[in-house]
Amino acid sequence: MTDFTTLGLAPALTAAVTRAGFSQPTPIQTQAIPLALAGHDILGLAQTGTGKTLAFGLPLIDHLLAKAGKPTPRIARSLILAPTRELVNQISDSLRALAEGTRLRVATVVGGQSINRQIATLERGTDILVATPGRLIDLMDRRAVDLGQVRHLVLDEADQMLDLGFIHALRRIAPNLGKPRQTMLFSATMPKQMEELSRAYLTDPRRVQVAPPGKAADKVTQSVHFLDKAHKPARLREILSRDLDALTLVFARTKHGAEKLMKGLVADGHNAASIHGNKSQGQRDRAIKAFREGKVTTLVATDVAARGIDIPGVAYVVNYDLPEVPDNYVHRIGRTARAGREGEAIALCAPEETDLLHQIEKLMKIEIPVGSGSRPAAAGKPAGGVGQQRRRGGNPGQQPRGETTSPQKGRRPRRRRAA
């Protein structure tokens, strides 16, 4: 059986992995780490929740530990770019845990926080700089950071960076990086633009793929419920009320919609919070911390959170609004069934969202089982109902959490609150 000691990592690093609670590498880690240690550029494709952070973080730390000396003022030795503040913070926390007790410094720069404090941090120099592209450019313009010695570049969730328009920022950043360098690009989906990005920034990359692009994690049970938009609030409350202790992540399409939905849930007695672009970084961090600790059991979010929440205890993801970008559905439901656990993804589809559902199913190459209502003929598929078999091949008579039955019949066992 493969374990971290067989991947070629430095003994001190394998010991750090053990202390962090990791015993067996995931498939993406098993394939990517030896190639990255050998210095190859990496194009990694895997759905969310499969351990991509360690797949690039461990070989990066290994390379840096092998280099003598400390970074000089304003120098960054390696750079990790990620599209959201939450994901940057998640990556930084993971790498700091692995680098604990070593001489390596990990610095984080994101928007929404004091740029003067970040300038002071960078003045000392850093081994690993984890950043959102926009704030990094602000710091470059102020000459607060020198990227000329960067020999390792990681683009995490690169497809979302493309979605958010960060390709222009990347074009500004890349010419300032050192050469030669190793570049690792990781993503859960592979749109056409991603191929172009890999050709532009990677040299003879090794492609590592553990699941087809657009495929959800194997342990996610999916269902879609067809109903009028006006009936969505009542259905959501019904879903939440059946397992009050479960951590449930609810996705809304807009910032205003997320906030309004959260306030309505709180008014009805649900323990809810929200994160979206109108929230300060401090508010978002506090909401995620409360959700992680189980003090908040329902978190309403826009897609800003789809890539930045790594909480193994999330039992359910509810797509209250279907996303306009099909790839985002994959990332949303990837917030559950993490770290080998099972999870359930429930989509609420109004008539005007039928085309969005069809695009999602086309991307994933599946037909999401119907939990309630009838599949509209406009979707180009035959009408269906509750009796369809669920995606993981479960018993067709077994009720998913969002089913319209009495609370006693088909009630799911309570899930334990996340620690």
User: 381 pLDDT exceeds 90?
Assistant: no
Q: Which of 89, 50, 128, 142 is nearest to 281 (CA)?
A: 89
Q: Which of 366, 267, 261 is nearest to 318 (CA)?
A: 261
Q: Which of 196, 184, 197, 313 is nearest to 245 (CA)?
A: 313
Tell me the pLDDT band of 346, cut-offs 50, 70 and 90: very high
For domain 4-209, which architecture applies?
A: 3-Layer(aba) Sandwich (3.40)
Q: Which of 151, 160, 115 is nearest to 136 (CA)?
A: 115
* Per-residue 3-state assignment (H helix, E strand, C coil) for 102-155: CCCCEEEECCCCCHHHHHHHHHCCEEEEEECHHHHHHHHHCCCCECCCCCEEEE
* Cα 150–chain centre separation: 25
User: 288 pLDDT exceeds 50?
Assistant: yes
For the stretch 134-156, pLDDT in tens is 999 999 999 999 999 999 999 99
Give residue 380's pLDDT: 43
**Alpha carbons 312 and 315: distance in angstroms, whole number:** 8
Tell me the pLDDT band of 407, cut-offs 50, 70 and 90: very low
Mean pLDDT within 54-73? 94
Give residue 396's pLDDT: 34
Rounded to the nearest integer, the mean pLDDT of the chain is 85
Q: Which two tokens stand for residue 40?
A: 């190859």
Domains 4-209 and 220-379 agree in fold: yes
Give residue 209's pLDDT: 87
Give residue 192's pLDDT: 74
pTM: 0.68
Sheet with 343-349, strands from edge to edge, namely: 272-275, 298-301, 247-251, 314-319, 343-349, 220-226, 370-372
For the stretch 215-272, pLDDT in tens is 565 678 999 999 999 999 999 999 999 888 899 999 999 999 999 999 999 999 999 9
Q: Which of 118, 126, 125, 71 is nearest to 95 (CA)?
A: 126
37-41, 132-136, 167-171, 246-250 — which is least confidently predicted? Answer: 167-171
User: 383 pLDDT exceeds 50?
Assistant: no
Measured at the CA of 225, the angle between CA 220 and CA 227, to 5 degrees, comes to: 160
Mean pLDDT within 317-327? 93
Handedness of CA 96, 84, 120, 63 (dihedral sign): positive
Is there a cis peptide before residue 180, judged by omega within 30 degrees of 0? yes
Q: Provide the percentage of residues in the chain whose pLDDT is more than 90.
A: 58
Give residue 190's pLDDT: 73
Identity of the highest mean pLDDT range in 35-39, 188-192, 331-335: 35-39
More confident residue, 274 or 214: 274
Give residue 2's pLDDT: 66
Q: Is residue 307 within 8 Å of 159, Cβ to Cβ?
A: no
Give residue 377's pLDDT: 74
Separation in Å, CA 121 to CA 73, 99, 152, 303: 10, 17, 20, 30
User: 389 pLDDT exceeds 80?
Assistant: no
Length of the chain: 419
User: 368 pLDDT exceeds 70?
Assistant: yes
User: 50 pLDDT exceeds 60?
Assistant: yes
More confident residue, 412 or 268: 268
**Alpha carbons 42 and 183: distance in angstroms, whole number:** 7
User: 391 pLDDT exceeds 50?
Assistant: no
Give residue 88's pLDDT: 93
Residue whose tokens read 């958010």: 164
Give residue 229's pLDDT: 96
Q: Is residue 178 within 8 Å of 149, Cβ to Cβ?
A: yes
Give residue 336's pLDDT: 86
Give residue 161's pLDDT: 79
Give residue 162's pLDDT: 76
Each domain of the chain, given as residue ranges in start order, spans: 4-209, 220-379
Tell me the pLDDT band of 56, cut-offs 50, 70 and 90: very high
Q: Which two tokens stand for residue 126?
A: 């850093």
Mean pLDDT within 378-391? 41
Tell me the pLDDT band of 1, cut-offs 50, 70 and 90: very low
Q: Provide the percentage of residues in the chain whose pLDDT is more than 70.
A: 84
User: 349 pLDDT exceeds 50?
Assistant: yes
Give residue 404's pLDDT: 39
Mean pLDDT within 180-187? 94
User: 392 pLDDT exceeds 80?
Assistant: no
Give residue 395's pLDDT: 36
**Domain 220-379 class, CATH top level:** alpha beta
For the stretch 82-128, pLDDT in tens is 988 888 998 999 999 999 989 999 999 998 889 999 999 999 999 99
Separation in Å, CA 21 to CA 30, 219, 419: 17, 22, 15
